[in-house]
Structure 1
Amino acid sequence: IEELTSNLPQLQSLSSSASSVDSMVSTETASPPSKRKVTTKIQGNAKKTLLKWVQHTAGKQLGIEVKDFGKSWRTGLAFHSVIHAIRPELVDLEKVKGRSNQENLEDAFTIAETHLGIPRLLDPEDVDVDKPDEKSIMTYVAQFLTQYPDIHGAGCDGQDIEQHPPNSHPIPSYKKDLLQNTDAHKRAFHEIYQTRSVNGIPMPPDQLEDMAERFHFVSSTSELHLMKMEFLELKYRLLSLLVLAESKLKSWIIKYGRRESVELLLQNYLSFIENSKFFEQYEVTYQILKQTAEMYVKADGSVGEAENVMKFMNETTAQWRNLSVEVRSVRSMLEEVISNWDRYGDTVASLQAWLEDAEKMLSQSENAKKYARADEMDRMKKEYTDYTTTLSGFATEAHRKLSEPLEVSLINVKLLIQDLE
């Protein structure tokens, strides 16, 4: 969160931190000269800055007061305001104001996951309490900042996460512009260095020399910095796809409910995996990342950095290998559950007819029962065994609230077959 909030240029005016030439030439790639030391108040107060981001981008526009990361989020309105700031068409604020906290929270988390690609780290029960956990809410809210730093421009094309998964850790464009235009900044500084002053105000020689040394460092390493930025963008884009796939997998691998709900899960799976060509997206991103990583490692020349990059690539490859197998198996699993529901319907109907026949036999006189044909009893026993085996298997796979009444019915049938015997 501290790293994210430190990259918010639009909050500089909201913070009391002083601006200086030092803060303009910050870099993330290599160690600058030892004299350089940049600290900002924003980095030291990430929680306050993240709250200001919410207030500035979401609450201020809708007149919603967000005072903290606790009770202010309990109604769900604050979550919806953040979503509205990114994609206004996803939120009906009038409808939100008329619903319960639990309904608003559930709706907000579902919309954020489905349409914005924000992994669901919270449940309504986590937030709709007297003292919600601030760190959990901050972590969740920070995901919006991670994926949509330019919140007013995000999602304007109306595309869902399935079509365009966002970067998990985007590099602000102003940093790239700064490094791509070092020549223009060098010319400006050269004029200052020649005159030894800024707007007629003399500069201390030691400060001027320090700036000259740092300008040389930035200009000589800018190409490597840009290469690393490209690598980091692709790296975190790949990670965002992994996180999204894991999140979706958790929503698909559950104790299944009624047939209609399983069909909806299958439709969601087909839309996410096949319609948006998710596996193709991942493979393209991975191949570009692989090429970029090789060029970056070669340009960097550091053994330690090469080992770190290689470790990340190997771990990601292994993670995706296991995850992709699980994701691919979901379709056949859901189709099998739907097939089991169909078998369940057919079996219950057959078992009901069997029960009616069995009850007729029980209602016969003792003499008639005594002379009942043995092969008839054998047939009924076999049918009973087949039916109950099918239903028992279904009860094991079904959600508990569906399986309990079914298990009671099976016990009753078992008692009935004992009576027949």
Structure 2
Amino acid sequence: MVEQEQIQKRTFTNWINAQLAKRKPPCVVRDLFRDCRDGSLLLDLLEVMSGQRMSRERGRGVFQHRSNIESALSFLRKKSIKLVNINIPDIIDGKPSIILGLIWTIILHFHIEELASGLSFSSRQSSMESLASLDTCSTSSSRSGSARSSPMPRRGSPLHQRFRVSAKKALMLWVREQLHKAGCTLSVKDFKTSWRSGVVFLAVLCGLRPDLVDLSKAENRSNKQNLEEAFRIAEQELRIPRLLEPEDVDVRDPDEKSIMTYVAQFLQYSQEIPASEEDMQTSANQKAREVTCWLAQAYQELIEGWDSTEGESYAERYHVFQTFVVSFNEQRRPVMPLLTAMRRTPQLSEEQRALRAAWDALAEKLREYKTELDLSLPSPLDSVGRWLLRAEGALTDEDKDTQDHARAAEDAREKLELLKTSMEEMGHHLKTYNSFMNVDEYHAILVPTDKMDEIKRRFTSVRVTAKYHGIKLEYQEQRHTALDLLGQLNSRLSSWNRPYCSQEGVRVLLQDWHEAVDKQGLVSLLKAALLKLKIVAAKYTSKSALAADSEKITKQMKDLQGKSARCLEAVPVAKGTMSRVMSAWDSYCDCLSSLQAWLAQESQSYSHRAEVAPECMSKWSSRQAHLNEVGNFLTEVTSPQTSRTLADEMRKVNMHWADFVKRTTFAGASQPSTSPHSPQAVQALCREASQLLKEPVEALSGPLRTYRKRLQFMMKKIKDVDSDALAQFPDCSAETLQKLRHTLPEVVKTLCGAEQVCEELQQSVSSLDGRLAELQHCETEARDLYELLKQAWKYGQNQDPRARMFISRALQLEGQVVTEEQDLQVMVMTAQKNSPLQYLIATAMQDRVRAAVAHSQEAVGMLSSIGARRDRSPTEDQPPSKIFIQSHREEVPQTQTGIKFHTVTQAQVMMTETQSLPETHDMHEPQPKEEPLPQELPQPLGQLEPLFLPRQCLNLSPTLRIQSSLTLRPLSSLYHNPNLM
């Protein structure tokens, strides 16, 4: 016995050192019995074998030693490893038999069984038959009694067809296969005397590496020589640690455990030999098919066993279920490596998907029956079962990595409330349990003792776990709340910091900033959430029972605080940037429209006026320089398309400016200067006014702004005319002077009315621009959300409520945009009818609206494709939005006005003679007769094609109508008034 202990001690020590060499930093066992006494060695070994970090007590006192050993033993018990006669005092005392038994248990379960489990499904049928014969031989004596007394399932059940293969038997089967490969006819019946000669070791080596071993030479060598040769080849060629020495094996009764430990090293080597990709895939798929078949059979057996107890007593039903569970848990070890490997596989094969489905179905059925056993306990224990399910549900640790932090915070909050309620009820249910009489009127047991013990353990587990789980839930709630707020701010920042697309787009983003920061208070809420989270985290990490999570919590807090600090710094910076861009854009638009209007006015009247004053040129030169300064700034912060548009605008206006400067500088001296107050100059002004009102005007913010400036410049010039100065010119008769004094105020009035109409149109266009910017902003956010949710949808996560919110918002904005665009068309047509502005064109705006709505509908369709459904039916209290449909190039009768509109080009507008300011003739020329209103006016709105929009649009803005009450006469009527002549 002493000799066997020494052999096991040497073998186990060598094996442990081989495992601990993988540890960082590695460590070495000098004296196995002494080194195990403080528990640190056991924890180091379990860390290496399980891959899990083990908590331990630092120090050299007995208390620390006991705590470390208890941690190791508890870990083994959680792995369902039975520890017979192994207790802490014996380990601290270094008792050889206890320590050797404990180490053997670890070797058997974490090494030999792990290796052997991979053989259970890949063996050939002939191997299974030989294994069955081996099983028959080794268990014949144990089955001499009645089979009826066994509670286990029948031998033909799927749980025993494949999985009743112990690690020892599976290892033996593998050895026989290696001997068969090597052509060795020796019979191996055990892990003791069969190995004494050393030939079996050599045969196994020959099966693995035929090039290294010549079995024919073994006959002429002694046992120790064969053993030495086998151990040398294994160590030098296969890198298998030398756990044994020849004298350990060449004895009368070799130690079985030592030999099994060493042979398992050969099995490990065989599994680490790289196989071809095709063989690996075939082997994996074959294993998956076999396991799937076994799981399907087990599933069917579980259902049949459960159904067979319908109407039976609770004890009978529990016994059948528990028998299945115990057997299943013992035999499921080979399934776990396959499932673990599948988690790391990006693309599952058909066989692997079938395996996952079979496993999930069986696991779900087991949970269902376990829950039913809790709910069907005899009264009043059934209330205890329901309470346990609720309490354990609140104690489940499901803080998964999720992007929906708002939902995660809400879940943690609900669990915390449920946990508090459950703990308040615990005393009542514990009293019910303790007072339950577990016998019926015939003194038969109602609930099996195992179930009663399970309920008691669950009470204890709930009480112990709840003490600290509430802190975990509070931390999870506060952390996910802070992450949700941080996510909202980062999402806004991403939008605020994007290259800007338009002036109205920047205005919308600034409004969004004030909405998020000032109204919603996201910054203040995030700061408050971080402060509260810091307090909860400090409470969390201060609990010694939660020390294992301390490193993770510290890392999470550091990461969150760093990200939050960067975010909070970026928020005011984003506002400052947008404010500067907004200011620059306002300045740019003002300078651009003013310079364009002034250049157009000056270029048109250059031939009949005095040269431009130096101070005036200096003023406009300064504006032109400022325009380029702010324009260059905007091209750097805007999107590529907007930047190109701005650069093109600046190029055109700079060319116009350069041409104007060139003409005024070099041609100014050669052209005769005309007095600005001569009758000819005043008549030219009137003609300019007439021509200005004939020009087509696009109903867009920029063109309207420039056109208004031109109208204002023209009014100022006419107002600056001194009628008294005209009398000094000899060619100005009294009659002509009288006509001019009467006409000029009327011209100013008409121009003023036109300017007022432009102002109202500009307000409407500006409102529509803002709405378009909101729609484009919503569309951009919807596309970002789609990219975010696409991954979540792939993994089967629930539909994010934000998708429905964005769809509803987009539909609302689509309806508002279409309605406001229709109202703008009405305003344009009304202005053409009742004002001197006859050539207003709205095609560009209509194209913008059509494109924006199409892009929005595309984004809505993308969100709808991942689960959200667009609701197009109008609610009872909300009327459907307008639908603007007009056929292609068809005349549309306007019943209210009696006028028909049709599409014309801008060139046609320029050529069409309509009611407008005619060119002003010389006062002495005969005036043409006033023409009646045409029966048909051109429609300067472009081709109107149908816009298919959802009818349901919420909170539509009220229809905008033209506010002008002026009914302005065309200037031609002023000139044709005989009273003025």
Residues 94-133 of structure 1 correspond to what in structure 2 (within 5 A)?
none
Does 1:404 find its partner at 2:652?
Answer: no
Match of 2:585 among 322, 341, 357: 341
RCO comparison, higher one (Cα < 8 Å, 6+)? 1
SS of the equivalent of 2:392 reads coil
- SS state of the match for residue 17, structure 1? helix
1:195 corresponds to which residue? Answer: 438
Structure-1 separation of matches of 2:518 and 2:638 = 27
Shift of 1:343: 0.6
Q: Normalising by structure 2, what TM-score?
A: 0.25
Task: Tell me how far 1:280 sits from its aligned partner.
Answer: 2.5
Higher helix share: 1
Is 1:293 the counterpart of 2:644? The answer is: no
1:395 aligns with 2:761: no
1:189 maps to a residue whose letter is: Y
Report matched runs for 1:44-59 at 5 Å.
none
The one-character-per-residue Cα deviations of 1:93-129 (angstroms, maximum 9, x if unpaired) are xxxxxxxxxxxxxxxxxxxxxxxxxxxxxxxxxxxxx
Q: Find out whether 1:17 has 2:368 as its counterpart.
A: yes
| Counterpart position of 2:895 | none
Which residue of 1 is the match for residue 392 of structure 2?
26
Secondary structure in 2 aligned to 1:395? helix
Name the CA shift for 1:259/1:326 in 2 (closer, same or farther; >3 Å). Answer: same
The answer as to 2:571 corresponding to 1:327 is yes
Conserved 8 A contact 1:231-1:296: yes
* 2-structure distance, mates of 1:353, 1:258: 22
Report Cα offsets for 1:181-234 as digits up to 9, x if no partner.
322222222233x53679x86111122212212211211332212222222211
1:16-415 correspondence to structure 2 within 5 Å: 17-18=368-369, 19=371, 20-21=373-374, 24=389, 25-26=391-392, 143=404, 147=406, 167=410, 169-172=412-415, 173-192=417-436, 195=438, 202-352=446-596, 355-356=599-600, 359=603, 384-415=624-655
* C-alpha spacing 1:231/1:413, structure 2 compared with 1 (3 Å): closer
Give 2:431's aligned amino acid.
R
1:344: how far off? 0.9
Gaps of 5+ in 2: 1-366, 375-384, 663-981
What amino acid sits opposite 1:207 in the alignment?
K
The 3-state SS of whatever aligns with 1:255 is coil
Give the count of matched residue pairs: 275
Note the alpha carbon deviations across 1:261-288, whole angstroms, 9 max, x for none. 4333222221221223333222222222
Structure 1: state its 5+ residue gaps: 1-15, 32-42, 44-138, 150-165
Conservation of the 8 A alpha-carbon contact between 1:196 and 1:208: no
Change (3 A) 1:308 1:230: same
Deviation at 1:356, TM superposition (A): 4.4
Are residues 175 and 413 of structure 1, via their aligned partners in 2, closer, same or farther at CA, if it must alter by over 3 Å? same
Question: Measured at CA, do residues 296 and 413 of structure 1 come closer, stay the same or move farther in structure 2, by a change above 3 Å?
Answer: closer
Q: 1:297 to 1:267 in 2, by over 3 A?
A: same
SS at match of 1:26: helix
Q: Which whole-Å CA distance do the structure 2 matches of 1:17 and 1:148 have between them?
A: 26
Contact 2:412–2:473 (CA under 8 A) maintained in structure 1: no
From the superposition, tell whether residues 395 and 296 of structure 1 become closer, same or farther in structure 2 (CA, over 3 Å): closer
Whether the 8 Å contact between 1:227 and 1:296 is mirrored in structure 2 is: yes
Q: 1:231 to 1:409 in 2, by over 3 A?
A: closer
d(CA) in 1 for partners of 2:511, 2:619: 41
Asked if the contact 2:406/2:481 (under 8 Å) is kept, the reply is: no
Structure number with greater Rg is: 2
Q: Is the 8 A contact 1:179 1:226 kept in 2?
A: no
For residues 303-362 of structure 1, the C-alpha deviation after alignment (integer angstroms, 9 at most, x for no partner) is 331111111111111010001111122222222222112211221134325634884799
RMSD: 4.2
The TM-score with structure 1 as length reference comes to: 0.54
Cα distance in 2 for partners of 1:319, 1:213 equals 43
Over the matched positions of the two proteins, sequence identity in percent amounts to 20
- Following superposition, the deviation at residue 171 of structure 1 comes to 3.7
CA distance in 2, matches of 1:381, 1:244: 46
SS of the aligned residue for 1:195 comes to: coil
Query: For each residue in 1:356-414, what CA deviation from the matched residue of structure 2 results, as whole angstroms up to 9, or x when unmatched?
Result: 488479979xxx99xx9999999877664443232232233344554434322333344
Give 2:438's aligned amino acid: T
